[in-house]
Amino acid sequence: MNVIEIISTLTEIQARSDRMRRQGKTIVLVPTMGFLHEGHLSLMREGKSHGNDLVVSIFVNPAQFGPGEDLETYPRDLDRDLDLVRKEGVDAVFVPDVHEIYGDRFQTYVELEKLPNHLCGNSRPVFFKGIATVVAKLFNIVKPHVAVFGQKDYQQLVIIRQMVRDLNFDITVIGSPTVREPDGLAMSSRNTYLTPGQRVSALSLCQSLINAQALLESGVRDAAEIIDSATDRIRSHPDTEIDYIAVCDPETLVDVKTIDRPVRMALAVKVGKARLIDNMLLKP
């Protein structure tokens, strides 16, 4: 196992990044909130192929949690996370505390005008403002050449790409495929909230997406019909409460009515205490 640098201060990580850049290294950043699983590890493996200095950040970002959400109970296990990243050949882990990131009197936020007005943004009003802000800060702090994000959080990926273009960050954003459990459930730190019964209900998310592609292949083009079918499927499982099911343009996230080109189907469902999301590219 390689020696890994564990850094919790801004000055140290900034000095380290400056040193790496002077040495001609290509810095790759994988931002996470910790409680790592195979999905996160796949981003690290992807990251390795885009550079030669791999930095993982672990930071549960309060700015992206709304009142009544699970900030306090969000699962955390730093020792386990560090064991996992060591095995992936990560060069440095950045684990700041909240004060290190937000300091005193923090008041400057990054907010996008349109992309957050869809999908998860409707029920989580501060979510993407919190994410765009913390990711912009991490970009300025860690100064990566490349950053890797999961397609699992599709709206987040689209928003980060837009922010990078709009604010001229000199960073290449890589979107990495969703890693799933053998039965199809998208891996998520929040899956630990599920009871065994809810774990079965949670499968209805990915099954609805797979079924949507099958409907499309059987000739259905009406997005409403596909959404209705997914709604029925999910509602037939106990402990599920649908937040949204959408069929949208992959870039603007605007709803699509007739599917005559590739679209993103995305959904968010509360299963017991866990708010789960999933998405898939649907191709007619």
- Which of 17, 28, 29, 40: binder of ligand AMP (CB under 6 A)? 40
- Cα–Cα distance for residue pair 246/259, rounded to 1 Å: 12
Contact criterion met (CB below 8 Å) for 26 and 51: yes
Minimum Å distance from CB 186 to ligand AMP? Answer: 5
Among 16, 137, 152, 264, binds ligand AMP (CB under 6 A): 152
The closest of 219, 216, 241 to 227, measured between CA atoms, is 216
Task: Name the one range near ligand AMP by CB under 6 A: 19-27, 32-40, 108-116, 208-216.
Answer: 32-40
Q: Considering beta carbons, is residue 44 or 216 the nearer one to ligand AMP?
A: 44
Toward ligand AMP, which CB reaches closer, 91 or 215? 91
Of 147, 123, 271, give the one whose Cα is nearest residue 208.
Answer: 271
| CA pair distance 140, 136, nearest whole angstrom | 6
Rounded least distance, CB 270 to ligand AMP, Å:
17
Cβ-based nearer residue to ligand AMP, 160 or 216: 160
Buried b (16+ CB within 10 A) or exposed e, 241-252: ebbebbbbebee
Among 7, 39, 133, 275, binds ligand AMP (CB under 6 A): 39
| 40 carries an active-site annotation | yes
Least Cβ distance, residue 18 to ligand AMP (angstroms): 25
Tell the smallest beta-carbon distance from residue 90 to ligand AMP (Å): 14
Applying CB under 6 A, among 4, 6, 10, 33 the residue interacting with ligand AMP is 33
At its nearest, how many Å lie between ligand AMP and the CB of residue 188? 6
Which residue of the set 40, 50, 145, 237 is catalytic? 40
CB 204 within 8 A of CB 237: yes
Structure tokens at 108: 């400057």
Residues contacting 232, CB < 8 A, separation 6+:
none
The nearer residue to ligand AMP, 32 or 259, going by C-beta atoms, is 32
CA distance 117 to 120: 8
| 32 touches ligand AMP by CB under 6 A | yes
Q: Rule CB under 6 A: which of 162-201 touch ligand AMP? A: 176, 178-179, 186-189
Whose Cβ is closer to ligand AMP: residue 96's or residue 227's? 96
Taking the C-alpha atoms of residue 58 and residue 48, their distance in angstroms, rounded to an integer, is 18
Gap between the Cα atoms of 279 and 206, Å rounded? 8
* Helix, coil or strand: residue 136: helix
**Active-site positions?**
40
Residues forming contacts to ligand AMP in the complex (CB under 6 A) are 32-33, 39-40, 42-43, 149-150, 152-153, 176, 178-179, 186-189
